[in-house]
Structure 1
Amino acid sequence: MSKRQLEYGRLVEQALRTVVRDVLQRVAAEGMVGSHHFYITFRTGDPGVDIADYLKERYPGEMTIVLQYQFWELEVDDEGFAVTLSFNNQPERLRIPFSAIKVFADPGAEFGLQFTIEPDQQVVSLPTAPRDAIVHGFKDGAPPSADTADEKNEAEENEGAPDDGAKVVALDRFRKK
């Protein structure tokens, strides 16, 4: 009988993707409220991503969309969401699986999630697993960048810095070393 490691990083990211789904379902049902708006960065080449060919050519790796004022027909299911956005005054329907999302940020709530475990990555054991999800808080209205090592290192270095209202919780700090 082989011993398998629990894949906590993957489980946490699945749970956090459920948060994204629930938020989008609420907005689809009730509309956007208050100062909430979303920056969503996703991998354009992932399976299930359905965007216009010219958008895929322009953004071959990843793309960030903003759901704030001009979006239509937001539909959400267990696998992902579809939305119509305007690109150069042309409506385009996008279908994005939750598994393709790299960053979800709501500057109006000073809230963001960064996903680092890609669906096709194999997690062999906890000590060698990729970085888990990072939960960001931010004050300046800018979403967290998708994948800069310098910002990740800066966040780790500033763990003991005075609290300015922003919260950074790196789940790596609880991992065995």
Structure 2
Amino acid sequence: MADETPPVDEMLYEQLAQDALRGVIRSALERAALPAGIPGAHHFYVTFKTRAPGVSVPPDIMAKYPDEMTVVLQHQYWDLTVEATRFSVMLKFGGMPKVLSMPYTAVTRFYDPSVQFLLQFEAPATIEEIAVEIAAMPPAEVEPLGGDDAPKVVSLDQFRKK
């Protein structure tokens, strides 16, 4: 009986599907950014990892929400800017305007309760988690540039969540 090696998904279909679903978030936010705003009774609860790479949150908000936070986009939001890989929005916290900016990869949940539409995503690795994993790695012996050997390359695949 021959050993059968399971097939390897070299197309990375799971990642392609996650990227496509994040495109749904981008499209919904693009509609919300139009002058008419969010149509009808729709409104969005967007949950994201505050320490995910690329997230920009004011320090006082970060202190209050050190891991994850949910923002509501309904009636009072300003300067919603939607880009290909990220978005930013101004919200008021305690009456003070604050700008939050994040890549779609930091979003863990997108929910529109008006139609019970929910998207959930695997949490991205935080900067701290990546740093801990790197610190735990044995030091690599890298030859100085100009040596006979080619430079060493470290694969980041081991840090990706599966």
- Please confirm whether the aligned pair reaches a TM-score higher than 0.5, indicating the same fold: yes
Structure ID, larger Rg:
2
Distance in 1, matches of 2:83 and 2:105, equals: 13
CA contact (8 A) 1:72 1:84 kept: yes
Q: CA deviation at 1:62?
A: 0.6
Q: CA deviation at 1:5?
A: 3.1
TM-score (normalizing by structure 2): 0.70
* Residue identity opposite 1:41 in structure 2: T
Q: Does residue 64 of structure 1 match 2:70?
A: yes
SS in 1 for 2:41: coil
Distance in 2, matches of 1:109 and 1:24, equals: 16
Distance in 2, matches of 1:94 and 1:58, equals: 14
- 1:96 is matched with 102
CA contact (8 A) 2:108 2:120 kept: yes
* Residue identity opposite 1:113 in structure 2: L
Change (3 A) 1:77 1:11: same
The equivalences for 1:93-172 within 5 A come to 93-116=99-122, 118=124, 122=157, 130=162
The alignment of Structure 1 onto Structure 2 pairs a total of residues equal to: 123
Q: Does residue 12 of structure 1 match 2:17?
A: yes
Distance in 1, matches of 2:157 and 2:15, equals: 10
Distance in 1, matches of 2:23 and 2:79, equals: 20
CA contact (8 A) 1:25 1:76 kept: yes
CA RMSD of aligned residues (A): 2.1
Unaligned runs of 5+ in 1: 124-128, 131-177
Q: Determine which of 10, 31, 47 is the counterpart of 2:53.
A: 47
Q: CA deviation at 1:90?
A: 0.4
Percent of paired sites with the same residue: 40
Instruction: Give the structure with the larger helix fraction.
Output: 1
